Amino acid sequence: MLLLSENSVEFTSDGGNHEIVVTANTNWEILCEADWIEVETTEKAGNRIILIRVEPNQTTIERTTSIFVKAVAVNINEEIIITQTANYLFGIGTATVLMRGSDCGTFLIQFDEHVLGLPVPGSRYNNVYYTINLPKEFQKEGERINVGFRAPNTGELTACTTMGPAYPQIFIVEVFACGGTVDLKIEEITEIKLCETAYNPQYNLQLRIENINDSRCPTGMRCVWEGTASIQFHLTTGGEEHSFTLDTHQGQAFKRDTVIEGMKYQLIDVLPYPVAWEQRIKSVNIIVTDETE
């Protein structure tokens, strides 16, 4: 006799542990070839237990494997099917809405070259992806958008017969239009997102974020160093244009503030703080002060 309490286990992309109780009147062994799974046996409350440890899935592909429990002296085998969801973690990037499919509501969007977390297959199609959950207010051809996305769940997106199933799929989690304008406050915190321009008419200042490179050590990970978030700004003041970079790191090799034409630009924070295996659309908090007063 060789019985298992379960013959299939599903894990999320985060991985984790799971226990299966074995009832047997014969000796048995475990076989597992997957390198992303660790299996060991133990005892708990008088029962023999198979402890399964699954590593986080850092790919955008669902994966499946089997663990075999085989009786040593008799021909009895049991199979445990392990399934782990794809990495539903965010990627972020700036994209252009290309066109809409005629028969299934699918939208093609093309990402710019600089993208965080973009699944590899898209590079074969000039970073063109399709999705059916683009919000209505962004469904205009040529619209420039900032997109937070993840890999779709099984059955979450349906291939469009007009576009063809060859284009990789994404599921949009958050999106906002590029080119928006916010008020640039003086001596108060101003929040600016990628693609946005902060404007102050009194001082004739226009401040735009060109790029955000966040290498800070994510929560839930061990890192060699704490990292930094580097922000590339483009400033227009009095008809003059300036580019500068500020960092969250406070070390001597990094700049957290700068003074240009009597105005001080001080980086306060970049939010949200990174979490292991996750990308989110970032916003930058900055304070501008008049140093001439």
Residue range 54-85, pLDDT digits in tens: 998 766 677 899 999 998 888 888 999 999 88
pLDDT tier for residue 120 given thresholds of 50, 70 and 90:
very low
If pLDDT is split at 50, 70 and 90, which confidence band does 261 have?
A: very high
Spatial contact of 161 and 104, defined as CB atoms under 8 Å apart: yes
Query: Do residues 260 and 234 make contact, with C-beta atoms less than 8 angstroms apart?
Result: no
Give the type of residue at 106: T
Residue 21 pairs in a beta bridge with: 49
CA atoms within 13 A on the CB side of 241: 2
Query: 42-46, 124-128, 227-231 — which one is most confidently predicted on average?
Result: 227-231
pLDDT tens digits for range 154-195: 666 665 545 554 677 788 888 888 877 899 999 999 999 877
Mean pLDDT over 191-210 rounds to 90
Give CA–CA dist 263/208, Å, rounded.
Answer: 15
Q: Is the pTM of this model over 0.85?
A: no
DSSP helix/strand/coil, 60: coil
Number of H helices, E strands in the chain: 0, 22
Q: How large is the average pLDDT for residues 217-237? A: 88
d(CA 3, CA 114): 52
- Average pLDDT for residues 240-267, to the nearest whole number? 94
Q: How, if at all, do strands 181-183 and 197-200 pair? A: parallel
Tell me the domain boundaries of the chain.
Answer: 2-84, 91-177, 181-290
Q: Where are the beta strands (DSSP E) in 178-204?
A: 181-183, 189-193, 197-200
Mean pLDDT of the chain: 84
Report the pLDDT value the prediction gives residue 278, as an integer from 0 to 100.
66
202 backbone dihedrals φ, ψ, rounded to 5°: -65, -40
> Do the Cβ atoms of 46 and 23 come closer than 8 Å?
no
Fold classification of 91-177 is OB fold (Dihydrolipoamide Acetyltransferase, E2P) (2.40.50)
Stretch 28-52: mean pLDDT: 90
Query: For residues 249 and 111, which has the higher predicted lDDT (pLDDT)?
Result: 249
Query: Parallel, antiparallel, or unpaired for β 47-54 and 37-44?
Result: antiparallel
Asked if residue 11 has pLDDT above 70, the reply is yes
pLDDT exceeds cutoff 80 at 45: no
Q: What is the CATH number assigned to the segment(s) 181-290?
A: 2.60.98
Residue 123 pLDDT > 60, yes or no? no
Percent of the chain with pLDDT over 90: 38
Over residues 1-9, the mean pLDDT reads 91
Class of domain 2-84: mainly beta
Nearby residues of 9 by Cβ (< 8 Å), 6 or more positions away:
18, 20, 52, 80, 81, 82, 83
Among 120-134, 136-150, 151-165, 250-264, the minimum mean pLDDT is found in 151-165
d(CA 90, CA 72): 46
Question: In sequence order, what DSSP letters do the residues of 123-158 get, joined into one string?
Answer: GGGTTEEEES---GGG-STT-EEEEEEEPPPTTTS-
Confidence at residue 161, expressed as pLDDT on a 0 to 100 scale: 47
If one compares 141 and 105, the residue with the highest pLDDT of the two is: 141
